Amino acid sequence: MQLVVGLGNPGPRYAATRHNIGFRCLEMLARRLRLDFTAAGPQYRAAVGDGPAGPVTLLQPWTYMNRSGDALLAWARETGWRVGVAPDSPDPLSPESAAATTAAAESAAAGEGTAAAAPVPAVVPIVVCDDLHLALGSVRIRGRGSDGGQKGLASVTQAIGGQSFPRVRLGVGPPDAAVPPIDWADYVLADFAAEELAAAAELAQYGADALLAVLAEGWPTAAVRYNRRGRPELPG
């Protein structure tokens, strides 16, 4: 089973903000996969079905950005899946690894195997989120790394106990200047400006394409194909 976590804040107040591009991208991915989100209690919404490499869950934390990891742990408790960081391997999220994890879980649920059987591997989340340090339209896919001040990413890192999980970072920053740290919260919690709306919509679609590639082919291949700086010129 594969798990994709899109970061954002719940409710209409935040729907059009820069901080919610992760939610928008995940919703676009759900449409591509013909999956529907359902409320699963107060902490998250989930869409469950088939992805390009097998069973997949798309998760939207409903706990606000700074407590995204709480929602992830609630999902793990309620579904019985373990979540954790990637093992030392070139690409732990390859379709082959995902299929093996699913098969092991199904065997355990059916009571097969012995007490000495290896434990089911942890599900390694794929996280998609905004990044104000990247210019609007940029995409950076990595298999691990620091949170870079992104509070939701920091919360997920703390919840699962490490930094070794794929992340798709979607740039929402200005093209020519850095945002001063004192203005970070105000900047990401503001709506996209009118002149940014077309680029933000294209970014959500492009990010969904990138996530599909991560699910189908693993993050290293997806990074080669989809990492970019800035955005292509959009029609006027």
**Catalytic sites, residue numbers:** 19
Are 56 and 50 in contact, with CB atoms under 8 Å apart? yes
- Please name every residue paired with 17 in a beta bridge, in sequence order, or none if there are none: 191
* Tally of CA atoms within 13 A in the half-sphere of 24 that contains its CB: 24
**Rounded CA separation 159/153 (Å):** 10
Token pair for residue 163? Answer: 């930094």
Q: Which of 2, 15, 25 is nearest to 207 (CA)?
A: 25
Structure-token match 């999980």, residue found = 165
Query: Are 29 and 212 spatial neighbours (Cβ–Cβ below 8 Å)?
Result: yes
Residue 17 in contact with residue 32, Cβ under 8 Å? no
Six-digit token string for 196 = 């940014």
Look-up of token digits 């719940």: 10
What is residue 88's DSSP assignment?
S
Closest CA to 41 of 14, 61, 66: 61
* Cα–Cα distance measured from residue 6 to residue 125, given in angstroms and rounded to the nearest whole number: 10
